[in-house]
Chain A
Amino acid sequence: MKLINQFTIWYLGISVIVFLIGGILIFYKLESEIDFEQGRELERHLDRYARKMESMDNPSSLSKERLEIKELPSDQALIPFQLGDTLAWHQPLEQVERQVKAGRSYLINGKHYYMSMYDIMVESDDITETVVQTMVAIFLLLLIFIAVTSRLVSKKILQPFHSSLTKIREFTFKENQPLVFEPSRIEEFEKLHEFLNRMSERMLGDYKIVKEFSENLSHEIQTPIAITSGKLELLLNSPITDQQARWIAAAYQSTQKMSKIVNSLATLAKLENQEFEGNQLVDLSGLLKNSIAGYEELVVIKNIALHHHIEPGIKIEMHPHMAEMLIENLLSNAIKHNEKPGYIKIEATPNHLTFRNKGKTPKANVTEYLDRFKKGNPNSESIGLGLSIVQQICRIHGFILDYQFIKEEHRVSIQLQN
Chain B
Amino acid sequence: MKILLIEDQLELSNNIREFLESEGIVCESCDNCFDAQDRLLVYPYDCIILDIMLPDGNGLDLIDFIKKNQDSSNILIISAKNSLQDKLDGLDLGADDYMTKPFHLAELHARLKVLYRRNQLGGSDKLIFNEIQVNPENLEVTVNQNLLDLTKKEFDLLVFFLTNKNRVLGRQAIVQHLWGDYTDDLANFDFVYQHIKNLRKKICLAGGTDYIETVYGIGYKFNTAKE
CB distance A234 to B18 under 8 Å?
Answer: yes
Tell me which of A138-146, A158-166, A248-256 binds B. A248-256
CB distance A223 to B12 under 8 Å?
Answer: yes
Output the nearest chain B residue to A240 by Cβ-Cβ distance: B168
CB distance B102 to A298 under 8 Å?
Answer: no
- Among A230, A245, A252, A297, point to the contact of B153 (Cβ < 8 A): A297
- State the CA gap A301–B81 with chains docked (Å): 33
Q: Is B82 an interface residue (CB 8 A)?
A: yes
Q: Is B183 an interface residue (CB 8 A)?
A: yes
CB distance A245 to B81 under 8 Å?
Answer: no
Q: List A contacts of B194 (CB < 8 A).
A: 301
A130 to chain B, nearest CB (A): 84
A223 to chain B, nearest CB (A): 5
Contacting residues of chain B (100-149) with chain A, CB-CB under 8 angstroms = 100-106
Q: Is A259 an interface residue (CB 8 A)?
A: yes
CB distance B82 to A263 under 8 Å?
Answer: yes
Output the nearest chain A residue to B22 by Cβ-Cβ distance: A237
Using an 8 Å CB-CB cutoff, how does the interface string of A356-376 with B read, 1 for contact, 0 for none?
000000000000000000000
CB distance A223 to B101 under 8 Å?
Answer: yes
Q: Is B19 an interface residue (CB 8 A)?
A: yes
Q: Is B54 an interface residue (CB 8 A)?
A: no
Output the nearest chain A residue to B104 by Cβ-Cβ distance: A233
CB distance A230 to B218 under 8 Å?
Answer: no
Q: Is A222 an interface residue (CB 8 A)?
A: yes
CB distance A381 to B191 under 8 Å?
Answer: no
Q: List B contacts of A220 (CB < 8 A).
A: 80
The SS class assigned to the A binding surface is: helix
- State the CA gap A225–B101 with chains docked (Å): 8
Q: List B contacts of A227 (CB < 8 A).
A: 9, 11-12, 15
CB distance A233 to B191 under 8 Å?
Answer: no
Given contacts A233-B105, A297-B153, contact A321 B84 (CB under 8 A): yes
- State the CA gap A44–B19 with chains docked (Å): 132
Q: Is A302 an interface residue (CB 8 A)?
A: yes
Q: Is A12 an interface residue (CB 8 A)?
A: no
CB distance B217 to A249 under 8 Å?
Answer: yes
CB distance B167 to A237 under 8 Å?
Answer: yes
Q: Is B170 an interface residue (CB 8 A)?
A: yes
Given contacts A219-B81, A332-B185, contact A230 B167 (CB under 8 A): no
A146 to chain B, nearest CB (A): 59
- Among A219, A228, A233, A328, point to the contact of B106 (Cβ < 8 A): A233
Output the nearest chain B residue to A382 by Cβ-Cβ distance: B185
Q: List B contacts of A256 (CB < 8 A).
A: 102, 172, 184
A169 to chain B, nearest CB (A): 29
- State the CA gap A219–B80 with chains docked (Å): 5
Q: 13 extra interchain contacts, Cβ-Cβ under 8 A, other than A218-B81, A297-B153?
A: A222-B80, A226-B12, A230-B16, A230-B105, A236-B218, A249-B217, A252-B170, A256-B184, A259-B101, A298-B191, A332-B183, A381-B185, A381-B188
Q: List 26 A-B contacts (CB under 8 A).
A: A218-B81, A225-B101, A226-B12, A227-B12, A230-B11, A230-B12, A230-B19, A233-B104, A234-B18, A234-B105, A237-B167, A245-B168, A245-B217, A245-B218, A253-B172, A255-B102, A256-B102, A295-B183, A302-B188, A332-B185, A332-B186, A336-B185, A381-B185, A381-B187, A381-B188, A382-B185
